[in-house]
Every structure is written in C-alpha cells, then in structure tokens.
C-alpha cells in the first residue's frame, strides 16, 4: 500500500505537535503507526525501483548477447 508522502508528512507533523503540546504517551502508538507506514511505503518504492532496474539491466544484457 502506498501513501501520499505529503499526507504522511502532515500526519507526522500533527503527531509531533500533539506530543510537544503534552499529549504525551497516549499518542505514541499512533505516531509509531504513522512512522511505520511511511517506512513501509519507502521500502515498497525502493523495492519496485530495484526490480525495475534489474529488469532493464537484464533486457540490456539479452540485447547485447543477441547482437542487437
């Protein structure tokens, strides 16, 4: 699942503001959840980029091998 980075950044900023305002421990689980979603989104994007790069390198190697 991917999330809009701006939405996640706004959610993190809201959580940080609430923590700073004294909301304290009650919000820490929600903050951790938002941070985990953001990390998962970045990992997903990294994996897709890596897979695309590997596919392009394989295609280039096959083209070179076939003499094109």
Is the pLDDT at 1 greater than 70? The verdict is no
State pLDDT tens for residues 25-67. 777 787 788 888 888 888 888 898 889 888 888 889 888 888 8
| pTM of the predicted model as reported, rounded to 2 decimal places | 0.45
Residue 2 gets the label, from left (phi > 0), alpha (psi -120 to 50) or beta, of beta
Domain assignments of the chain as residue spans, ordered by start: 5-66
């Amino acid at each position: 699942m991917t999330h809009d980075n701006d939405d996640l950044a706004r959610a993190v900023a809201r959580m940080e503001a609430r923590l700073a305002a004294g909301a304290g421990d009650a919000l820490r689980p929600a903050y951790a959840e938002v941070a985990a979603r953001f990390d998962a989104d970045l990992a997903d994007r990294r994996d897709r980029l890596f897979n695309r790069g590997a596919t392009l390198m394989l295609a280039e190697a096959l083209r070179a091998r076939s003499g094109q």
